[in-house]
Amino acid sequence: MSLPDALRAATVRLAVSSDTARLDAELLMAHALGLSRADMLMRQRDLIVPADFAALLDRRLSGEPIAHIIGSRDFWTISLAVTPDTLIPRPDSETLIEAAVDHFVARAPMRVLDLGTGSGALLLAALAQWPQARGLGVDASAAALAVAQDNAVRLGLSDRAEFRLGDWADGVDGPFDLLLINPPYIGSDEPLSGDVLREPAGALFAGVDGLADYRRIAPDLPRLIAPGGMAAIEIGHMQAASVSALLVGQGLAVAVRRDLAGLDRCLIATLAD
């Protein structure tokens, strides 16, 4: 079977369970070939289907996330190694970086804090965006922090990124120009399906109503946000009102930013005038 035919056949099989069947097939094929997806697509008519492509396809058909199979995920302008110990970075979370870019037009943030850093996606994306910035990533998982540290080294950012085992902002001294926060926000009784079932539960669930971690984080924000700074906080698309109320209750000003799908995705918290 030619490589284009193999891609078409794999797409048909994956379409039963994946909304990104063609992309999945192309990423798996490129990984099996040891090529970038772009290079594979340009050369596909001259390439031979590698023997291990079938095994990779079977793993995806069994429900294993693409990022876990190929071991990486692109985010903002960087590529990150990911493992089952971390939440897979998603395009929705890039909304937080977009909000920060719009906020820091006249000046760059110099101190960045990433609470719940996981793979280091948000912190490392920010450090890549602003070359003079330095940052701290905090996570309760030592395994996740190991992944984040490895990503910092691989991206050449380890001299500006510090990672610390911790419980949200406990023991963290501010202030910071930019806070990036993507806490668990799924209610414990909410049904889930798809790739998310293979991700660490501790990065997903936050009590019955999904607000448990926001309640813990909100009281620390006024002391952590520097004058003129901001906190970009990811939310579930139906949580804008409830999380905003928690932040306003701490004396913060709050604005909502939507993702590319038009859903509420990020709350921008600043010190009230």
Q: What is the pLDDT along the chain (273 residues), one digit of tens a residue?
A: 899 999 999 999 999 989 999 999 999 999 999 999 999 999 999 999 999 999 999 999 999 999 999 999 999 999 999 999 999 999 999 999 999 999 999 999 999 999 999 999 999 999 999 999 999 999 999 999 999 999 999 999 999 999 999 999 999 998 999 999 999 877 766 766 566 656 676 666 667 788 999 999 999 999 999 999 999 999 999 999 999 999 999 999 999 999 999 999 999 999 987
**Residue 186's pLDDT is what?**
75
The answer for 71, left when phi > 0, alpha when psi is -120 to 50, beta otherwise, is: left
**Residue 205's pLDDT is what?**
64
Task: For residue 145, give the nearest of 115, 187, 177 by alpha carbon.
Answer: 115
Pair type for strands 176-181 and 225-234: parallel
Amino acid at 137: G
d(CA 209, CA 184): 11
**Residue 57's pLDDT is what?**
98
**Residue 195's pLDDT is what?**
66
Task: For residue 91, give the nearest of 125, 115, 57 by alpha carbon.
Answer: 125
**Residue 206's pLDDT is what?**
62
Q: Is 196 exposed, middle or buried (0-12, 13-18, 19+ CB in 10 A)?
A: middle
**Residue 201's pLDDT is what?**
62
Enumerate the β-bridge partners of residue 136: 113, 162
**Residue 174's pLDDT is what?**
87
